[in-house]
Amino acid sequence: MQTQEVILEPQKKKRNKKKIILISLGVLLAIGLSLFIFANGYINKSLAETEGTIQLPSLENEVTVTTDGDGVPHIKAENNHDLYMAQGYIQAQSRMFQMEMSRRQASGTLSEIVGEAAVGHDKYFRSLGLRRAAEESYNIYSDESKKVLQWFADGVNAYIKQAKEENSLPVEFTLMGSEPAEWTPVDSLTIGKYMAFDLGGHWERQAFNYYALNNFAEEKAYELFPVYPENKPTIIGEDEVDVAASFENAIIPHAFNGSNNWVVSGEKSKSGQPLLANDPHLGLATPSIWYQMQLESPDVSVSGVIFAGVPGIILGHNEKIAWGVTNTGPDVQQLYLEKRNPDNPNEFLYEDNWEEAEVIDEPIKVKDGETIDYEVIETRHGPIISEHANESAKDTVMSLRWTALEATTELEAILEINRASNWSEFEKGLEKFLSPAQNFVFASSDGTIAYKANGNIPIYENGEDAQLPLEGWEKENNWKGYIPFDELPTVVNPDKGFVATANNKIIGDEYPYHISNMWAQPYRYERIAEVLAAGNDLTAKDMQALQMDKMNLQAREFVPMFAETLDSVELTDDAKKAMELLLNWDYKDNVDASQPLIFHQWLDEIEAILYDGEIPEDVMDLFGSRGQTTDELLRRGNNSIWIQENGGIKELLSQSLENTMDKLVKEHGKEPADWKWGDYHKVQFYHPLSDISPVLEFFFNNEDPISVGGSSVTPMAASYDSETGIVDHGASWRFVIDTNDMETGYHIVGPGQAGHFKSDWYHNQMNDWVGGGYHVTEMNAEKGMELTLTP
């Protein structure tokens, strides 16, 4: 019996130990569950309220906000004060963290919440002075527009106050250890100035051209200068500076910032009324750069999209008209070489005299660090943006003159456009839209279609001057004013029945003014014009299909040329397979096709052979829109010095094709016919905090990247990072309307409306963005979740 007890004792201890472990696990599970419930509840507190009643003390009357099934808020107010205050509140509910980051990015105050890592960014934007330009712009706004800006800011601040009191700010603020400060009218205008920055203006290409002339033989350098290809369609008929060092901290906007838009007359449409389509191409991220809304008061009824942090509707339609934009891409930025006085670093030469520059204190606060005493120097031309100069020319620096750094009134134009009812009123509103210069297309229920290249476009005596930095000490190099408004390229009701733009050259050499040397490659426009010219009885669905069109006219031009050139060249077996596939291609960048993968990689390898080793990596960042240059070199073939120096066109094409196949076989397998464009070319709308840790990535970007067709040269624009294949730039919003029914618009806002990762509208439009789905938005939404804002 004693023996049995001795045997049983260890078993008893074993059971007790197991029991203790189970109890401990239960306790830990309960604690974890409690923490999860607490965290979940805390996170859910910051979800936008879409139902019920919220008190906003400054309102004059009740405001109704109906949120439809696609997350689009329809705001109905009895007066404009309440309308714009409600718009500010609703935007902040859904996008407050995005708004905060946008104003900080543009103002150069990211270091306050990010720390030392953002100092270089902040120095650059303090130098540019977008916020200073916004402050100057505010001073010239009308009293009515200032009221709108303030009413909008009051709505944002009502949300901020409420969220702080209820401890319901978005979780991103907790993660960043910050809170939003009071919103001001200048914050909204600063975000507008940032969009002008994002759309660029070619200063970096001037810097690159300057580098080329100082480092290559003149003829070889000039081959790299931008030239628009001949016979392609238009919309309307001395001291050396170390360029690489000078701009090493510069932030360069995406090279493919472009867009598509077009209008079709009723003569070519099935409904007998004009059609309009627009898809602006910008960075793809979470949340979307756009926020879709509908606004209604006794004198405003407008639907479309706006940048988060800005009142009104910038793109869309009202009950009479619809409009869309693309980037004109004019030469609105000019670099000036400045000679600094060796005895006074704040004086610069102008017309044989030393002229005092303005010195602006811009202290930069740094999280967990000391405030940096930073100074910005502005010459008569603009801010000095080259912080570092070659020792041999340390007294010569570069300044930037740019239309966006002047006082401008874009928001005032938007508010007028929102209320316009015909082309005359719309065009009148455009007089106040100065920067960035944009291609506006217009359609009206009265049957009018129109186009205008609008904004401040500088007058150069010689268009070639815009290709290089100019000597700032010579008066003759100053701009000669701007192209008069009434002389800007304009078309109303053209005989061909449509107008389209895709950042291509807008007018021929007969036009008396210089607009730009830098145009997008013509392929998107050519394809759009090809389809519209051939079409009749066109419908809104046809316009949607054209926005998703994946026809690659660059390949249609170059594949036969490449094949003919290589016809007598002995190729490797893999290269032969590639050529066979390419010659049997329909030239569509479809997701399941292997040919787009081969063709685009081939072009990358051609550029690698031509430029790597010749142009330093940091200078390549300044070589904007180099695809246009590469295309032109290929058209010249053996007449190009760059191609001659690489063995001639046959050697260049055969070697680059072999390099292409070697790389793709390693990455995608031995059989080219089995490759798919979509295995490499994928889209993901990244949240700015998702790369901080895998945990945050799980919450903010928990969907896998999606395979997608198209490319940067197809109407279905999908530009990608060549290292990863991830699509990071494309149609940030797609919109189509048939003016026969001005109540109904077709939209897609990738990846969704909401900024909160637990919202149903956070990433719900990703698959539609890839597949070409659209949601219908009615001007007067009768169904949806109803929120009442009360005084």
Compute the distance between CA of residue 203 and CA of residue 466 in angstroms, rounded to an integer: 9
**What are the pLDDT digits (tens) for 334-367?**
999 999 999 999 999 999 999 999 999 999 999 9
**How large is the greatest C-alpha to C-alpha distance in the chain, in angstroms?**
116
Compute the distance between CA of residue 543 and CA of residue 546 in angstroms, rounded to an integer: 5
Query: pLDDT class for 7, splitting at 50, 70, 90?
Result: very low
Residue with tokens 């010689």: 462
pLDDT at residue number 251:
74
167-181, 252-266, 293-307, 411-425: range with lowest mean pLDDT: 252-266
Q: Do 148 and 312 meet the contact criterion of CB atoms below 8 Å apart?
A: yes
Q: Do 413 and 433 meet the contact criterion of CB atoms below 8 Å apart?
A: yes
Compute the distance between CA of residue 63 and CA of residue 77 in angstroms, rounded to an integer: 5
Which pair of structure tokens corresponds to residue 376? 């910005």
Is 573's pLDDT higher than 50? yes
pLDDT at residue number 466:
85
**What are the pLDDT digits (tens) for 393-407?**
456 789 999 999 999
Class of the domain covering 553-587+594-675: mainly alpha
- The residue among 444 and 201 whose pLDDT is bigger is 444
The reported pTM is 0.92
DSSP helix/strand/coil, 687: coil
pLDDT at residue number 230:
59
How many CA atoms, within 13 angstroms, populate the side-chain half-sphere of residue 746? 23
Average pLDDT over residues 559-587: 97
- Number of other CB atoms surrounding residue 232 within 10 Å: 14
Q: Considering only CA atoms, give the Rg of the chain.
A: 29
64-78, 143-157, 221-235: range with lowest mean pLDDT: 221-235
Query: pLDDT class for 72, splitting at 50, 70, 90?
Result: very high
DSSP helix/strand/coil, 4: helix
Instruction: Tell which residue, 559, 524, 566, 585, has the closest CA to residue 715.
Output: 524
Query: pLDDT class for 647, splitting at 50, 70, 90?
Result: very high
Compute the distance between CA of residue 591 and CA of residue 211 in angstroms, rounded to an integer: 39
Compute the distance between CA of residue 195 and CA of residue 187 in angstroms, rounded to an integer: 13
| Mean of pLDDT over the chain | 91
Q: Which residues have a Cβ under 8 Å from the Cβ of 487 and sit 6 or more positions away? A: 512, 513
Compute the distance between CA of residue 736 and CA of residue 774 in angstroms, rounded to an integer: 9
Instruction: Tell which residue, 673, 670, 690, 672, has the closest CA to residue 751.
Output: 690
| Residue ranges per structural domain of the chain | 553-587+594-675
Q: Do 749 and 287 meet the contact criterion of CB atoms below 8 Å apart?
A: no
Compute the distance between CA of residue 222 and CA of residue 241 in angstroms, rounded to an integer: 19
Average pLDDT over residues 542-558: 98
pLDDT at residue number 256:
56
Is 460's pLDDT higher than 60? yes
Is 764's pLDDT higher than 90? yes
- Asked if omega into 751 is within 30° of 0 (cis), the reply is yes
How many CA atoms, within 13 angstroms, populate the side-chain half-sphere of residue 33? 6
Compute the distance between CA of residue 222 and CA of residue 212 in angstroms, rounded to an integer: 8
pLDDT at residue number 725:
97
Q: Which residues have a Cβ under 8 Å from the Cβ of 698 and sit 6 or more positions away? A: none
**What are the pLDDT digits (tens) for 494-538?**
999 999 999 999 988 889 999 998 889 999 999 999 999 999 999
Task: Rounding to the nearest 10 degrees, give the CA dihedral for residues 719, 598, 645, 247.
Answer: 20
Query: pLDDT class for 199, splitting at 50, 70, 90?
Result: confident
**What are the pLDDT digits (tens) for 238-283?**
445 566 566 766 777 766 567 999 999 999 999 999 999 999 999 9
Is 37's pLDDT higher than 60? no
